[in-house]
Amino acid sequence: MPWWGWVLVGLGVLIVAFIVFALTYGKKLQRKQAEAEKQMAAVKQDIPMLIIDKQKKKAKESGLPESVLSQMPKLSRNLKLPVVKAKIGPKIMTLIAEEKVFEILPVKKEVTVSVSGIYITELKKVRGGTVPKLPEKKKTLFTKLSEKAKAAQMK
């Protein structure tokens, strides 16, 4: 067998090994995420609060407690988090919100949210108003063209 044949066989083995590794590691991460979601659902509670401010900040600049920052992976400390400052009773606290909740969370209003630790998971109600819905994303050129094509086929 020529030398390039051995190279192709080696590449094939590496690709198969990478695929097997990715599948097993992906399943492991999915199990961890499912466990974490169960734990968050178990300690979830509804809390009324006044939203003071909401911003996307890096974890280091967000004002989160040092114990929370030390538990975060080092790579995710530089990512921007949706941070919410809220007044809960007499205390002003810094919380982290889910992306979908962060988008619809009104500022300078009293709301009732589901909180799991320092993580806002759901917006339950807004005092003196209705819960806003997620804004629709703009359609991309591809989706517009595909809708036009489907409409033309229907005619």
Residues 74, 31 within the same domain: no
- Asked if residue 5 belongs to a domain, the reply is yes
Report pLDDT for 14: 95
Averaged over successive runs of 10 residues, the pLDDT of the chain (155 residues) comes to 86 94 91 91 93 92 87 86 94 93 92 93 87 79 88 84
- Asked if residue 108 belongs to a domain, the reply is yes
Residues 54, 31 within the same domain: no
- Asked if residue 138 belongs to a domain, the reply is no
| C-alpha to C-alpha distance for 109 and 51, rounded to whole angstroms | 6
Report pLDDT for 94: 93
Residues 117, 97 within the same domain: yes
Burial 115-146, CB ≥16 within 10 A → b, else e: bbeeebbbbeebeeeeeeeeeeeeeeeeeeee
Residues 7, 55 within the same domain: no
State which residues form the domain around 19: 1-42
Report pLDDT for 106: 92
Residues 12, 49 within the same domain: no
Residues 37, 66 within the same domain: no
Report pLDDT for 87: 96
Number of domains making up the chain: 2
Residues 53, 111 within the same domain: yes
Residues 75, 21 within the same domain: no
Report pLDDT for 155: 73
Phi, psi of 82, deg, nearest 5: -80, 105
Q: What is the DSSP letter of 140?
A: P
Residues 36, 57 within the same domain: no
